[in-house]
Structure 1
Amino acid sequence: MKKEIDKKLQNKNIKPTPMRQLVLQVLTEQKTAISLPELEHKFEKADKATLYRTLKTFENKKLIHSIDDGTGSVKYALCQDTCQCHPEDLHVHFLCTKCNQTYCLNDFPIPEINLPNSFSLESVNMVVKGICSNCKK
């Protein structure tokens, strides 16, 4: 697992420090997006500023993407290996209104947005809300 983590970091030109390795391992194991407070809870002794800087480095290097799902906490999830965070790489996110978990729906791209000629698209945030399969059981 450590070799895979280091390889992911190196592929994005991110120096593999111990904190970055640990954060990436947690993000890799996550099935849903995670907020900074949730990440802090997993690393009780880690400095909040260090965790935040790690997430921002990962986001700037396109290793993760951020999601504003309307809950008041920005959440983070791993990008797919081929993602460059261009508009065509964007996908729909699903927020479960019961468990408050946010899922990346990678197989559901954001529908094409036709803007007026003088506008240029930089990003789109599409969050679908409902009840996830785990909560429906």
Structure 2
Amino acid sequence: MNKIDNYFQDFEHYLTPLPKTEKQNIVNELKDHFLSMINDEMQQGLAENVAIEKVIDEFPPPKEHAKQYISMHTEPLYDVQVDFGFRYMLALAIMGLAEMALLFVKDELHFILAAIGFIMFIAGNNLVFRKSHWNRDNIKQLY
């Protein structure tokens, strides 16, 4: 069973772009199919290890197999509309942090710049991490 577990662990890893529930349904359905094929082979008189090897050899490698499922996926994997507001809010938080970090580099900078940077950082974090702006589609836009 270890070879089957390894196959499905790799297969599930390559299905990452799919939604979690759909990925789990595909994996469960394929596991059932694998196990029934192994049972059929064992009923024909093959040893368990030989049956497992034979069934695994009948299927493509996990990466290719996952690509087939991903290509059959009908819904768009990522939302086409980009939420630029989320990116600007995130940039506000990062710029505020960078402005505060400038004080460590340049001693001549004023305390007022640090205060502005702190306010930008807090405001940006408040806007970004509010529940209404924090969703999976926004995170996927960042990479």
TM-score by length of 1: 0.23
Larger relative contact order, structure 1 or 2 (CA cutoff 8 Å, min sep 6)? 2
- Larger Cα Rg: Structure 1 or Structure 2? 2
More strand by share: 1
TM-score by length of 2: 0.23
More helix by share: 2
